[in-house]
Structure 1
Amino acid sequence: MNHDVYISLGSNLGNRKAYLQQAIEGIAMRVGNIIDVAPIYETPSWGFAGEAFLNTCLVCRTFLSPEEVLAQLLLIEQSLGRERLQNTKGYQSRTIDLDILFYDDLIINTERLTVPHPLLHHRKFVLKPLDKLNNQKVHPLLKKTVSELLRTTNDTSPVQRLSDQLTFPAQKSPFFHYKYIAIEGNIGSGKTTLATKIAEDFNAKLILEQFSENPFLPKFYENPKQYGFTLEMSFLTERYQQMREQLTQMDLFKEFVVSDYDIFKSLIFSKITLTDDEFVLYRKLFYILYNQIIKPDLYVFLYQNTERLIENIKKRGRAYEQNISPDYLKRIHYGYLDFIQKNTAIHSLIIDVTDLDFVKHYNDYNLIIEKIREK
């Protein structure tokens, strides 16, 4: 899921504006997409005698947990020369200071992290830029808006807005080259989950296969020989109709299209499922329909070994899938590889996700996104 995290930035050493700018770029690279950056304010040092600070705030959209955001901010501080002296009491001058103010509307109180920031409402140099970002943001503990907190704060320090501006990197989507991406993989490989995450995070139109509504699927798993041809024909017609409709009706408000299947899977599965005579007939009809369908600009195949696939299938608990054999999964796998190898005109990318958990771990998810970006 996406989360909105509000971060304060301050600097009172060296080229203060340059440090703020570099921190913003670091946050964009390590934490997430920068949604907005407040103006710069100059304020006296707070809580100790030192040079004046430049302060600002930003809001960032991230997949990271609060603890992961904190870890990345500390790395950014370190990279910009911030030294946190363990045995020194009170505040010190610093090249950069990054603090989490809000993380959605969560209330967090752990040994390492307190959110909302416990001194937020006592710091005018935080409230001023925060007010420019979102003055209606409600403090989840105090139940007051930022605007109200600014009016009632006990901090009387002078805060001067500067004319200087900070910029944040243009967020170029890793998918900007593509109009249509198909995420494919074996049963239980995670293609639907990945396609859904990409659509949510990168503003894509999502096309999901409607396999769960197919009445022949449970029957097929019970009696493959009797229901194989019926199942494959129903899948083919449903996929063709869905793709024909969805790919020709583009959404002007979406950046691209991502689907959790490509219609060619019909031929891959049918070759395994059908008898030789049935497959010959099926293939003739398939190519008549296939030639009318828009092909993906990028075909991503998620590879997982058979043992992991079986684990995933058991976890999601669909009763009719529980008796799928390892041999059946292996035959499907080789069918996909054969398709990729023979169809060299298709722009394809194979990603081994056997040891990745892109739902729980952002770094695993980001690794997949970077592979697509590099492709």
Structure 2
Amino acid sequence: MRIQRITYLSLGTNQGNKTENLQSAIDLIADEIGAVLKVASIYETASWGFDSDNFYNTCIKVSTYLPPEQLIQKLLTIEKDLGRVRVDSDSYADRLIDLDILLFDDEIIFNKDLIVPHPRMLERKFALAPLAEIATGVIHPIAKKKISLCLQECVDDSDIKQLNIPLKRPIPISEQYNYIAVEGNIGAGKTTLSTMISNDFNAKIVLERFADNPFLPKFYEDQERYAFPLEMSFLADRYQQLSDDLAQFDLFKNFVISDYYIFKSLIFAQVTLQNDEYKLYRKMFDLMYKEIVKPDLYVYLYQNTDRLLKNIEKRGREYEQNIEASYLEKIHDGYSNFIKTQQNLNILVIDVSELDFVQNRDDYKTIIQKIKEHRP
């Protein structure tokens, strides 16, 4: 299990559009490092150790899974992506963006690539002032004093000015939504995406227990005979799982993600059942559906049929290998009709046919960005 850690980062710039530089860095940190929990004000100071344009400085509180050694490498990459060119020199110079680790939990780190707490932070108002704004009660692990007291005792007599220029804190999807359901056709990648989001955003996850269904292999061998017991068993199991699992979580405090929504039962039943069987099934479904918690966001992953067939072949489940394109297309039509008729469900459709969000981090980030930017 990965552990989330709290780090405080210092950001500075004295070139170009300084406010924009800071905001861009904050946005990239949110994308690449972890959730930005707090953002301090911007503080303006004269350049330190050389004559040049004034600096804008701020500090942010970040929750991250990265160990400190990986964190500093990510910060160096972000600096480079924003246009900073580092030179081999100990002298002070203009900086498009400067990112430093001030604190990493209460750890003390000394190695050739990283020293934490930052070795000069107690000497610099431009680091302590924004840090004290958002971490006033935090204890410096070496000085053994609160950051607010460290600021009071700082011997730096340079002028520092707090600016009334707001910086925007990127809101992670774990704060935008309490419960997300990820859906899609067979082989669309819904379980994989749900698991990735759960890992990255510390979400409670609910995964469909399809592998335990004894009727599933039999259904693919004889659909007409086993369709009704299969769909009824799926419905009962999905209802029980969602009722039990969601009841364990406080949906106002926990971020929950599932790789299915119970309405998929009706979509598959429409395709597989005879008319009289479907009528009976629908009565049972309607009774259960009223009791199920609705997701704050319903994400439907669309993949074209050719890509679905390739995914199904690749994952190698023996009982799925004879699934025909026509069956997948009927399932997709069922989802399409469901999406068109749902007025009270917040739905986001994402075409992932040309995305490889497992192997390509940028493709995964594209999906996360679509979720962040979605408005009902």
TM-score, length-normalised on structure 1?
A: 0.69
1:308 is aligned to 307
1:74 is aligned to 80
Cα distance between partner residues in 2 of 1:272 and 1:284: 17
Once the two structures are TM-superposed, the CA of residue 305 in structure 1 deviates from its matched residue by 0.7
Q: Is the 8 A contact 1:43 1:159 kept in 2?
A: no
Once the two structures are TM-superposed, the CA of residue 5 in structure 1 deviates from its matched residue by 8.1
Cα distance between partner residues in 2 of 1:330 and 1:125: 63
Cα distance between partner residues in 2 of 1:273 and 1:70: 54
Is structure 2 residue 211 aligned with structure 1 residue 218? no
2:28 is aligned to 30
Q: Is the 8 A contact 1:186 1:329 kept in 2?
A: yes
Given residue 124 of structure 1, which amino acid in structure 2 is its aligned partner?
A: P
TM-score, length-normalised on structure 2?
A: 0.69
Q: Which runs of 5+ in 1 are unaligned?
A: 105-115, 137-144, 148-157
Written as runs of structure 1 = structure 2, the 5 A alignment for 1:1-375 is 9=11, 13=14, 19=18, 23-32=21-30, 33-34=35-36, 60-61=62-63, 70-76=76-82, 78=83, 84=85, 91=91, 93-98=93-98, 118=113, 120=115, 124-125=119-120, 169-174=168-173, 176=175, 178-251=177-250, 254-372=253-371, 373-375=373-375
Backbone CA RMSD of aligned residues: 4.6
**Structure 1 residues 159 and 227: alpha-carbon distance in aligned structure 2, compared to 1, 3 A threshold:** farther
Once the two structures are TM-superposed, the CA of residue 93 in structure 1 deviates from its matched residue by 1.5
Percent identity over paired residues: 42
Given residue 357 of structure 2, which amino acid in structure 1 is its aligned partner?
A: F
Q: Is the 8 A contact 1:34 1:168 kept in 2?
A: no
1:140 is aligned to none
Once the two structures are TM-superposed, the CA of residue 23 in structure 1 deviates from its matched residue by 4.9
Q: Is the 8 A contact 1:183 1:191 kept in 2?
A: yes
Cα distance between partner residues in 2 of 1:36 and 1:295: 31
Given residue 241 of structure 1, which amino acid in structure 2 is its aligned partner?
A: Q
Given residue 36 of structure 2, which amino acid in structure 1 is its aligned partner?
A: I
Q: Is the 8 A contact 1:63 1:362 kept in 2?
A: no
Instruction: Provide the secondary structure at the position in 1 that maps to 2:300.
Output: strand
Cα distance between partner residues in 1 of 2:274 and 2:113: 69
Given residue 78 of structure 2, which amino acid in structure 1 is its aligned partner?
A: Q
Instruction: Provide the secondary structure at the position in 2 that maps to 1:302.
Output: strand
Cα distance between partner residues in 1 of 2:262 and 2:255: 18
Cα distance between partner residues in 2 of 1:250 and 1:120: 40
Deviates more, 1:124-133 or 1:234-243: 124-133
Once the two structures are TM-superposed, the CA of residue 254 in structure 1 deviates from its matched residue by 3.5
Cα distance between partner residues in 1 of 2:291 and 2:8: 48
Q: Is the 8 A contact 2:203 2:255 kept in 1?
A: yes
Cα distance between partner residues in 2 of 1:194 and 1:36: 28
**Structure 1 residues 217 and 50: alpha-carbon distance in aligned structure 2, compared to 1, 3 A threshold:** same
Once the two structures are TM-superposed, the CA of residue 200 in structure 1 deviates from its matched residue by 3.5
2:151 is aligned to none
Cα distance between partner residues in 2 of 1:304 and 1:203: 27
Aligned residues: 338
**Structure 1 residues 97 and 146: alpha-carbon distance in aligned structure 2, compared to 1, 3 A threshold:** farther
Cα distance between partner residues in 2 of 1:85 and 1:196: 37
Deviates more, 1:30-39 or 1:200-209: 30-39
Cα distance between partner residues in 1 of 2:213 and 2:187: 17
Once the two structures are TM-superposed, the CA of residue 300 in structure 1 deviates from its matched residue by 1.6
Given residue 235 of structure 1, which amino acid in structure 2 is its aligned partner?
A: F
